[in-house]
Chains A and B, each alone.
Chain A
Amino acid sequence: MTEVIDTTRALPEHAEEPVVERDLQTVEMELNMGPQHPSTHGVLRVILHLDGERIVRAQFDIGYLHRGKEKLCEYLDYRQGLSQIERTDYLAPWNDDLAFVMAAEKLAGIEVPERALYVRTIMCELNRIASHLVFYGAFGIDAGAITPFMYGFRVREVILNFFEYVSGGRFFPLYFRVGGLKEDVPDGFVERCRQTLDYIKQGIDDCDRLLSSNEIFLSRTKGVGVLSAEDAIALGVSGPMLRASGVPIDIRRTEPYMIYDRFEFDIPVGTNGDSYDRYILRIEEMRQSVRIIEQALKDFPGGPIMARMPKAFRPPAGEVYLRTEAPRGEYGIHLVSRGGSDKPYRVKIRAPSFSNLAAMEHVLPGAFLADAPIIIGSIDIVLGDVDR
C-alpha cells in the first residue's frame, strides 16, 4: 500500500525567509560560446563575461571563415573576381555581384542598358526575400521554435528554383557582368516570375501569421537587445538593424542607385530598436520587395542586355566607393584601379554583417545570457560576410 499524500495541505505558514549572506564573494565568470554552437550562425566565437546571469562584457573572436577574398580579387580579372565576391555574403550573392559590377561600371563610366537594370533589380529583390526568409527560419530556431524554419525554407526553395531557371545556379549565379548580364533571361521570364511572386506572397503571409504574434516569441524578443538611434549611427550599423532603431536610412532611397527611384515602396522603420523590431521589419521589407518586383515586371523593357564593351575590360585609373543596400545592410565596394590592367589594384569589401556584429560589443552587456542567441541572431549575421 502506497502512502497517500494530501495535496490539499497548505504550505507551512511560517516558512523561513531566505538567508542572504551580504558578504558573499562572487566572481565574474567567463563563458565560451562557439565556435561550434548551433545559434552562432556559422563559426563565431563569443567570450562572455558574466555576473550571475547578466552579461558584463562580450568579446568576439572572428576570422574562422576568413578566406582572403580581397587578396584573391587582386589576382583575378573583373569577371573572375565576381566568383569570389559572391561568396562573401553567401545568402545574398546577387546583391554582392551587383555592388561589384556597379563599382567597376562607375570606374569606367559605362551605361548599362535598361533591360539589364530591370533584371538586376528583380533578381536582387528576390534575393532579398530569400535572404530574409533564411533569417526568419533561423531566428525562429534561436527563439526555440522549429516550425518557422520549415516554412521559411519552403518558400525560399521556390525562389532558388527561380534563380536556377534564370542563371543556372541556385546559390551562386555569376549572372551579372560588368556592363550588363551574362545572357538574356529565358523565355517566359515575366510569366514565371509572376507565378513565383504569387507563391511568395502567400508564403510571407503564412510565415507572418505563424510567428509574429506568438506570445512566447513576443516575450522573448520584445525589449531584448535594444540599440538606440544615436548609438546605431555612431557605430556604423546599417540595414534593417539601423532602421529598427528608428533611423530611416535605406540606401535605395537616401542615395538612389540603379533604377530604384522609379519604383514606389515604403521603408519600414522600428520604434524600440529591439530584437522584435529587427524581426518584424524584415517581414515588412519582404512585402515591399514584392511590390518593387511587381512594378518592375509591369514595365519590363526589351532591348539589349549588354553595353558595348571592349574585349578586355581595363578601366582607367581611379578610385570609387560604391554602396548598395544589401539584405543585411550597406554592402560597399572600394575599388582602386591604376589603369591599364584587367585586374583591380585593390578591392575592399565593406561587409554589413561586420559593422553590425561589431556593434554587438555595445549591445550585449546588460542582457541575460539566455537572450544572447536571440540578440546575435537578430542582426542576421552571415559569418562569410564578416570574415570575407
Chain B
Amino acid sequence: MAIKIVAETVTPRGVRMLRLQPAKLVPAAEVEAAIKEVLQGLNATTTISYDEAVVTVSPEHLVEAAQRLRDHPKLRMTYPRCVAAVDYPDQGEIEVTYWLYSPELSQKAALKVRCPRDGGAVPSLVSVWRGVDWHEREQAEMFGIRFEGHPNLKPLLLQADFPGPVLRKDFPIREPQSPPVRKAGGEQLEEEAAE
C-alpha cells in the first residue's frame, strides 16, 4: 500500500487511530506512460490535463480498457470516483469521463469515451466497477445517451414524463413565469368555462 501508516493507537472505545504520512501522488507523466504501455493495441490516446493522466478510447475498446486499468498491477484503478458527461453540440458529440483512483498505488487517471449526440451509446462499465451504477443512470437521463449493458437504466432523478435530456446545451432554461392574472369582470373565467 502506498498509504504509509506512521503510528497507530487504539482509543478506549476501540477505534484505531492512524497517523498517516501525507501521501505523494504518482506524477501524471508516469501514470500516462504506464497507461500507454498497458493499453497497447486499443488505439488509446493519452494526454495530461493539469495533474491528471487522461486516456481516450473508442466505445468498442472501452470495457477492455477499463478492465486493464483496474486489473493491471501497474495501475490497479479499483476505485471509481465519478462519471461525468459533457455535451459538445458544435462537435456533435457527448464525452463521458470516468474519474478513477488507485488506493493501493496512490495514483489517479481519467478514462474518456465519446459518442454521437444522436442516438449515442457507450458500453456500460457496471461489470467492471459496480460503483458507477447510479452515476451512469444519472448521466444517461441527463444527456439522453444509452449505456449498453447497464442492468437497470431507469430514470434516477427526474420524473418519468420529464421532457428531454436536461443537461444538454440546447435544452433551454426557462425564465420563471408568473401565473396568469385573473382579470376582473369574469372574462377569463368564461374562457376557462369554455375549455
Q: Known contacts A234-B130, A248-B3; is A253 also within 8 Å of B20 by CB?
A: yes
Partner of A249, one of B3, B14, B49: B3
Complex alpha-carbon distance, A330 and B108, angstroms: 14
Measured as residues with beta carbon below 8 angstroms from the partner, the interface class of chain B is 35 or more
Q: Establish whether residues B49 and A250, one from each chain, have CB atoms under 8 Å apart when the complex forms.
A: no
Q: Known contacts A234-B131, A255-B23; is A269 also within 8 Å of B81 by CB?
A: no
Q: Establish whether residues B131 and A355, one from each chain, have CB atoms under 8 Å apart when the complex forms.
A: yes
The interface residues of chain B lying within 8 Å CB-to-CB of A7 are none
Q: Establish whether residues A321 and B99, one from each chain, have CB atoms under 8 Å apart when the complex forms.
A: yes
Q: Known contacts A253-B23, A321-B110; is A269 also within 8 Å of B16 by CB?
A: yes
Complex alpha-carbon distance, A256 and B86, angstroms: 27
Would you call B78 an interface residue if the criterion is a C-beta within 8 Å of the partner chain's C-beta atoms? yes
Number of interface residues, chain A, beta carbon within 8 A: 60
Q: Known contacts A236-B80, A318-B49, A359-B131; is A254 also within 8 Å of B167 by CB?
A: no
Main secondary structure on A side of the interface with B: mixed
Q: Known contacts A233-B79, A318-B49, A321-B99; is A280 also within 8 Å of B18 by CB?
A: no
Would you call A350 an interface residue if the criterion is a C-beta within 8 Å of the partner chain's C-beta atoms? yes
Would you call B25 an interface residue if the criterion is a C-beta within 8 Å of the partner chain's C-beta atoms? yes
Q: Establish whether residues B81 and A358, one from each chain, have CB atoms under 8 Å apart when the complex forms.
A: no
Q: Establish whether residues A332 and B82, one from each chain, have CB atoms under 8 Å apart when the complex forms.
A: yes
Would you call B52 an interface residue if the criterion is a C-beta within 8 Å of the partner chain's C-beta atoms? yes
Would you call B194 an interface residue if the criterion is a C-beta within 8 Å of the partner chain's C-beta atoms? no
Q: Known contacts A266-B18, A332-B99; is A284 also within 8 Å of B86 by CB?
A: no
Q: Known contacts A62-B157, A318-B49; is A236 also within 8 Å of B132 by CB?
A: yes
- B78, B84, B133, B166: residue with the most chain A Cβ atoms closer than 10 Å: B84
Q: Establish whether residues B49 and A334, one from each chain, have CB atoms under 8 Å apart when the complex forms.
A: no
Q: Known contacts A256-B23, A318-B50, A336-B86; is A212 also within 8 Å of B13 by CB?
A: yes
Nearest-CB residue, chain B, relative to A332: B82
The interface residues of chain A lying within 8 Å CB-to-CB of B132 are 236
27 A–B pairs (Cβ distance < 8 Å), ordered by A: A62-B156, A62-B157, A63-B157, A71-B173, A75-B173, A234-B78, A234-B129, A234-B130, A236-B132, A237-B131, A248-B5, A250-B20, A255-B25, A261-B22, A267-B18, A268-B17, A268-B18, A270-B15, A284-B15, A323-B81, A334-B82, A346-B167, A348-B84, A355-B131, A355-B135, A362-B130, A388-B157
Would you call A171 an interface residue if the criterion is a C-beta within 8 Å of the partner chain's C-beta atoms? no
Q: Tell me the A60-87 residues at the B interface (CB within 8 Å).
A: 62-63, 66, 68, 70-72, 75
Which positions in B face A, CB cutoff 8 Å? 3, 5, 9, 11, 13-23, 25, 49-50, 52, 78-82, 84, 86-87, 97, 99, 103, 106, 108, 110, 129-135, 142, 156-159, 166-167, 171, 173
The interface residues of chain A lying within 8 Å CB-to-CB of B9 are 266
Q: Establish whether residues B22 and A271, one from each chain, have CB atoms under 8 Å apart when the complex forms.
A: no
Partner of A334, one of B79, B97, B159: B97
Would you call A31 an interface residue if the criterion is a C-beta within 8 Å of the partner chain's C-beta atoms? no
Would you call A345 an interface residue if the criterion is a C-beta within 8 Å of the partner chain's C-beta atoms? yes
Q: Establish whether residues A254 and B134, one from each chain, have CB atoms under 8 Å apart when the complex forms.
A: no
Nearest-CB residue, chain A, relative to B166: A71
Would you call A235 an interface residue if the criterion is a C-beta within 8 Å of the partner chain's C-beta atoms? yes
Would you call A294 an interface residue if the criterion is a C-beta within 8 Å of the partner chain's C-beta atoms? no
The interface residues of chain A lying within 8 Å CB-to-CB of B15 are 268-270, 277, 280-281, 284
- A236, A237, A248, A345: residue with the most chain B Cβ atoms closer than 10 Å: A236
Q: Establish whether residues B131 and A358, one from each chain, have CB atoms under 8 Å apart when the complex forms.
A: yes
Complex alpha-carbon distance, A249 and B18, angstroms: 11
Would you call A175 an interface residue if the criterion is a C-beta within 8 Å of the partner chain's C-beta atoms? no
- B14, B15, B132, B133: residue with the most chain A Cβ atoms closer than 10 Å: B15
The interface residues of chain A lying within 8 Å CB-to-CB of B84 are 321, 334, 346, 348, 350
Complex alpha-carbon distance, A372 and B5, angstroms: 35
Nearest-CB residue, chain A, relative to B133: A358
Partner of A248, one of B18, B79, B159: B18
Partner of B79, one of A236, A267, A332: A236
Would you call A247 an interface residue if the criterion is a C-beta within 8 Å of the partner chain's C-beta atoms? yes
- B16, B110, B156: residue with the most chain A Cβ atoms closer than 10 Å: B16
Q: Known contacts A261-B22, A354-B134; is A254 also within 8 Å of B82 by CB?
A: no
- A70, A268, A321: residue with the most chain B Cβ atoms closer than 10 Å: A321
The interface residues of chain A lying within 8 Å CB-to-CB of B103 are 233, 247, 249, 254
Q: Establish whether residues A346 and B86, one from each chain, have CB atoms under 8 Å apart when the complex forms.
A: yes
The interface residues of chain A lying within 8 Å CB-to-CB of B22 are 253, 256, 260-261
| Nearest CB on B from A131, distance (A) | 19
The interface residues of chain A lying within 8 Å CB-to-CB of B106 are 254-255
| Nearest CB on B from A155, distance (A) | 19
Q: Known contacts A71-B167, A321-B82, A348-B82; is A248 also within 8 Å of B14 by CB?
A: no
Complex alpha-carbon distance, A264 and B6, angstroms: 12
Complex alpha-carbon distance, A233 and B131, angstroms: 8
Q: Establish whether residues A254 and B129, one from each chain, have CB atoms under 8 Å apart when the complex forms.
A: no
Nearest-CB residue, chain A, relative to B155: A63
Q: Establish whether residues A254 and B97, one from each chain, have CB atoms under 8 Å apart when the complex forms.
A: no
Complex alpha-carbon distance, A332 and B106, angstroms: 17
Q: Tell me the A328-361 residues at the B interface (CB within 8 Å).
A: 330, 332, 334, 336, 345-346, 348, 350, 354-355, 357-359, 361
